[in-house]
Amino acid sequence: MVLFETCIHDSHVKLGAKMVDFAGWHMPIQYTSIVSEHNSVRERVGIFDVSHMGQIFVSGKGASDFLSYVTTWDMNRLSKGDCRYCHILNEDGQIIDDTIVYTFSSENFMLVPNASMVTKIFEWFISKAVDFDVLIENKSDDFFCFAVQGPEAPRLLRQFFNLAITPFKLVKTGDMIISGTGYTGEKGYEIMGPLSQGLEIWQSFLDMGAIPIGLGARDTLRLEKGYLLSGTDFNENQTTLESGYSWVIDWNHNFIGKDKLLVQKEKKYKLLKGILLEERGVLRPGLPVYYDGKEISKLTSGSLSPILKRGIGLSYVDLSVGTTVNIMIRNKQLKGRVIQTPFL
């Protein structure tokens, strides 16, 4: 199988990165170690190559109404320069993908779907756009995307672009789109631009002191903050309500899946919650969760938190925060506790 490569693939190799297949892309999982890279982002600043993510543009007089229909948020509430995290649902209210919508104007938007979902989201949008005056374009092959994350990220942004951007706002400068967004829970930005400029931007941020960070640390960073991972924490079988992300729903507009969510809202349902291991061990996706001697669910995500130095995971459970559970690891049940995310 031939894997896709980003525009700075050779730089990853030269930096000694361990490369893996990630959603059909040859991507760096780590350069030194996941723990050291994780700590670099929490304490200083790191840069991630996330050019495998997609860029879908929606424009036209009906763009705002269309995106309001196919996502959980009313885009008519957004202003130029706003970014909004929301969910894309199927008719049953289940999450197809999560995304951030970038507002360039009331008739011009961009969405960034997850790497494995770009084609599916593009085709889903096309199928739902019949009654709307919109142009939908998949320009994912035209852009690089780097995430600069950590306490020192604002300094590097000022140093290179002479910009300061507040969270969930965007600025267009030349061919670049820069937003106050990220996937780590730290101060940070995502920079998107033409492939031809990718290597120069990447190298400049390395020269200014940003540490290259692989996708391994990206996963532990997002998990400590309880952020969802597409295809892992949801896979079109879980609703936005079950994921614990009801805050991404604007109930005052019509959207795909709304009717099913309104029905579920009045019932009892499992919620995605954190599991904090009370004993020494590492949690992994798929491990069974036991309560009162019975298996009640499996972990969707799991890892060792480099900051807490404890096993952490996520699971859909119908249990109160503080409840003691057991996680089966190598035929041994270890004690854990249900907590409300984020872990830190």
CATH of span 270-339: 2.40.30.110
CB of 58 within 8 A of CB of 135?
A: yes
* Mean pLDDT of the 44-63 span: 98
Is the pLDDT score of 267 beyond 90?
A: yes
144 in the Ramachandran plot: left (φ > 0), alpha (ψ -120 to 50) or beta? beta
Residue type, 139: K
- Kindly list the distances between the CA atom of residue 78 and the CA atoms of 83, 180, 242, in Å, as whole numbers in the listed order: 8, 16, 26
The CATH number corresponding to 56-138 among 3.40.50.720, 3.30.70.1400, 1.10.443.10, 3.40.50.1980 equals 3.30.70.1400
* Mean pLDDT of the 250-255 span: 98
Using CB atoms within 10 Å of the CB of residue 34, give its burial: 0 to 12 exposed, 13 to 18 middle, 19+ buried.
buried
Tell me the chain's radius of gyration from C-alpha atoms.
20
pLDDT value at residue 1: 82
pLDDT value at residue 7: 98
Over the stretch 180-219, which tens digit does the pLDDT of each residue have? 999 999 999 999 999 999 999 999 999 999 999 999 999 9
Sign of the CA dihedral running 83, 84, 85, 90 = negative
Q: CA-to-CA distance for 257 and 236, rounded, in angstroms?
A: 12
Over the stretch 276-322, which tens digit does the pLDDT of each residue have? 999 999 999 999 999 999 999 999 999 999 999 999 999 999 999 99
* Mean pLDDT of the 311-340 span: 97
- Token output for 129: 């756009």
Is the pLDDT score of 110 beyond 90?
A: yes
Q: CA-to-CA distance for 125 and 57, rounded, in angstroms?
A: 11
Over the stretch 117-174, which tens digit does the pLDDT of each residue have? 999 999 999 999 999 999 999 999 999 999 999 999 999 999 999 999 999 999 999 9
Q: CA-to-CA distance for 49 and 147, rounded, in angstroms?
A: 7
Sheet with 188-194: list strands edge to edge: 170-173, 176-179, 188-194, 143-149, 46-49, 211-213
Q: CA-to-CA distance for 46 and 43, rounded, in angstroms?
A: 9
Backbone angles phi, psi at 297, to 5 degrees: -170, -175
Instruction: Tell which CATH architecture fits domain 9-48+141-224.
Output: 2-Layer Sandwich (3.30)
pLDDT value at residue 85: 98
- Residue spans per domain, the chain: 9-48+141-224, 56-138, 270-339
Mind spelling out the 3-state secondary structure of the chain? CCCECCCCHHHHHHCCCEEEEECCEEEEEECCCHHHHHHHHHHCCEEEECCCCCCEEEECCCHHHHHHHHCCCCHHHCCCCEEEEEEEECCCCEEEEEEEEEEEECCEEEECCCHHHHHHHHHHHHHHCCCCCCEEEECHHHEEEEEEECCCHHHHHHHHHCCCCCCCEEEEECCEEEECCCCCCCCEEEEEEEHHHHHHHHHHHHHCCCEEECHHHHHHHHHHCCCCCECCCECCCCECCCCCCHHHCCCCCCCCCHHHHHHHHCCCCCEEEEEEECCCCCCCCCCEEEECCEEEEEEEEEEECCCCCCEEEEEEECCCCCCEEEEEECCEEEEEEEECCCCC
Sign of the CA dihedral running 47, 48, 49, 51 = negative
Residue type, 32: T
- Token output for 37: 């890279």
* Mean pLDDT across the chain: 98
